[in-house]
Amino acid sequence: MAGKTKRAVLVLTEDQRAMLTKLAGSRTASVREVERAKVLLGYANGASISDVMRREGVGRPMIYKCIDKALSGGVEAGLKDAYHRPRKPEITDEAKAWVVNMACTKPKDHGLAAELWTILALARLISERAEAAGHPRLARAGKSTLWRILNEHHLKPHKIRYDLGRRDPDFDRKMEEVLMVYRDVGIYKADAVHDGRPAPIYTVSVDEKKPGVQALAVTAPDLPPVPGKEESVSRDYEYVRHGTVSILAGIDLHSGHLFGHVEDQHRSIEFIGLLQEMDAYYPPEGLIRLVLDNHSAHISKETKAFLATRPDRFEYVHTPKHGSWLNLIECVFSKMARTFLRHIRVQSIDELKTRILKGINEMNQAPVVFRWKKFDMNAA
């Protein structure tokens, strides 16, 4: 159309005009189609090319192309982009597959020191070996090209994701046993008895806090907040280590009462001490049902020997291997970590033990009953 002396006339039917008017005011259509609809409407209404250009803020070549397509192929053709045969890709599917295969190996498999790829290292190796592999175009491929190929296949060989498989063949059965205990706790009170439950059952969730709690001391006194000057406590970055302690704890799932021992080690003798405290705490006719893991101290010869002296007093319900999240005592340890253990600084191991026991006593002054609320075995 450019260079023509006589203006070509674009005639619109009522349906075409209504369609273009609706499209020109649309907020959901593509910007290109909205602009072209406005151009065609303006031109069909008699506006000059210059007027359309100024009014719509588009270039003259775009206006000519849009009108030429509408005149030759109809209004619909004027709104759409002309079909272009795509250029044959320089990097073939076979070359991309080779890149993906390389990315799925480890750098050490190719004589490098690293365990995981970086994009730069992978790009260098591909560039070096592309010619020999029959993909010469990849010899010039940079990091961005490699990144696009990896993204197409949702690969991130520079990252590592840790997981833990189920190593307990009886995981489902043990999980169901633990959840059935939690359901029983929600139904019956600790002192409930009936024909099928001749003795009261006291359920306690037991574990030890791992790793040991560190006794850290400050190298300089903390500075308190100063109104208008310093809004928080100031503490020196450096600290002194005095050792670690272990917290052996059990929580009564009926009352929220917390049993807690703070020991230098976690051996059978320390665990037996916790059992003795529970034995003295509950009425002698009751059964103490313990939810706990398979730690060696829980099933050692020394522990079994103590349990034999108290027949029918303790009952174990083991959580599955790598199933510590099923043990409600973990909620107690989380609460400890978020309250009195958070940012704790002490001058000695003995002070740390005193502070922890004081924190356990404070928790017992306002006991919290933890309950398992979701009993869908598949969802758990």
Give the tens place of pLDDT for each residue, 1-55: 444 546 788 888 899 999 999 999 999 988 989 999 999 999 998 888 999 999 8
Give the tens place of pLDDT for each residue, 107-140: 999 999 999 999 999 999 999 999 999 999 999 9
**pLDDT higher than threshold 80 for residue 193:** yes
Task: Give the residue from 360, 342, 171, 118 showing the smallest Cα distance to 260.
Answer: 360
pTM above 0.75, yes or no: no
Query: 294 and 318 in contact (C-beta within 8 Å)?
Result: yes
Task: Give the residue from 78, 64, 3 showing the smallest Cα distance to 36.
Answer: 78
Task: Locate the domains of the chain by residue range.
Answer: 14-79, 93-152, 171-365
**Main-chain phi, psi angles of 289, to 5 degrees:** -100, 120
Query: 151 and 174 in contact (C-beta within 8 Å)?
Result: no
Task: Give the residue from 336, 320, 324 showing the smallest Cα distance to 368.
Answer: 336
Q: Are strands 287-292 and 314-318 parallel, antiparallel or unpaired?
A: parallel
In order, the DSSP letters of 11-77 are ---HHHHHHHHHHHT-SSS-HHHHHHHHHHHHHHTT--HHHHHHHHT--HHHHHHHHHHHHHH-HHH
Average per-residue pLDDT for the chain = 89
Query: 157 and 117 in contact (C-beta within 8 Å)?
Result: yes
3.40.50.970, 3.40.50.300, 3.30.420.10, 3.40.50.150: which CATH number matches 171-365?
A: 3.30.420.10
Q: How confident is the model at residue 380 (pLDDT cuts 50, 70, 90)?
A: very low
At position 72, the amino acid (one-letter code) is S
Q: Which helix (H) or strand (E) holds 362?
A: helix 349-365
